[in-house]
Amino acid sequence: MSQQYPGHQPPSYPPVPGPYGPPPRKKLSTGAVVALALGGVFVFLVALGAVVGDGDAEKDEAGQRSDAKAVVTPATTSPAAEPPATLAARPKEAPPEEKEKEEPETGRLPDFVGMGLQSAQDEAQELDFFRLTSHDALGRERNQFSDRNWKVCFQSPRPGVHPTDTEVDFGTVKLDETCPASDRGGEVAEATDTMPDFTGKSANVAREALDSSTSLSVEDASGEDRFVLVESNWKVCTQQPSAGTALNGQPVTLRVVKFEESC
């Protein structure tokens, strides 16, 4: 038995390998490390999916609860539940076809004959008649470029009470002209298969009546070889072909003089 002295430390010896010492640590292979890493990632993804799934389930449940609240509506009282006296007091609405149509406004149209065209138009508009038109009462198809240079000879409709949306047409002549016994104005009748009689009518009327493809010549019948500029100021003396002749596309010639002249 060894004797120990105070302050004396026994010597330390390194561990002896062998069956009595700790087993040596083994290093993990590369494949094992990869397998462990993949396993950890898989476990993380499974846990994350479970959390997201729980959140979506909570949202769906909350949406279903809100939809259920939206569907529930307070009970309303149907007409059948009302007392008979209340139903009887309720006015019945007439069917749409039986509802009264709103009647147009009416106004009194005065007699404009003898007035200047511009003055007649102004007064008609003051009375709420705004659909106004005018024409040449001599049938020459002249345009009323300056209304102050024309006077009213005829009017349609006649004086009286009419709806204010009625079209008012004035038959007019120039200020220095005499009103004819009857209104010669109106729409020009189109020539069809036969040649109309244009004698005494303006060359402008003849041109509008013929087909637009017709070859038309308008010549001065006075022998002075004047140029026919405004055809509404010239009247037809003779025509070729004559009235009643079949029209099959042949050229038409009109010989004219001014209206204040004799043929």
pLDDT of residue 68: 46
Structure tokens, 193:
């298969």
pLDDT of residue 188: 76
Structure tokens, 212:
């637009």
Separation of alpha carbons 237 and 227, rounded Å: 16
Separation of alpha carbons 153 and 140, rounded Å: 15
Structure tokens, 96:
């749409």
Domain boundaries in the chain? 106-174, 203-258
* pTM score: 0.56
pLDDT tens, residue order, the chain (263 aa): 445 555 555 555 555 555 555 555 555 556 665 666 666 766 666 666 655 555 555 555 555 554 544 444 555 555 555 555 555 555 556 565 654 567 789 999 999 999 999 999 999 999 999 999 999 999 999 999 899 999 999 999 999 999 999 999 999 999 999 999 999 887 677 888 999 999 999 999 999 999 999 999 999 999 999 999 999 999 999 999 999 999 999 999 999 999 999 99
Look at the domain 106-174 and name its fold.
Answer: Trypsin Inhibitor V; Chain A (3.30.10)
Task: Judge contact between 112 and 123, C-beta under 8 A.
Answer: yes
Nearest-CA neighbor of 259 among 235, 237, 236, 239? 235
Residue ranges of E strands in 132-197: 132-136, 150-156, 160-163, 168-174
Q: Kindly list the distances between the CA atom of residue 206 and the CA atoms of 126, 186, 194, in Å, as whole numbers in the listed order.
A: 38, 14, 13
Output the DSSP codes for 29-44. PHHHHHHHHHHHHHHH
Task: Judge contact between 194 and 200, C-beta under 8 A.
Answer: no
pLDDT of residue 76: 52
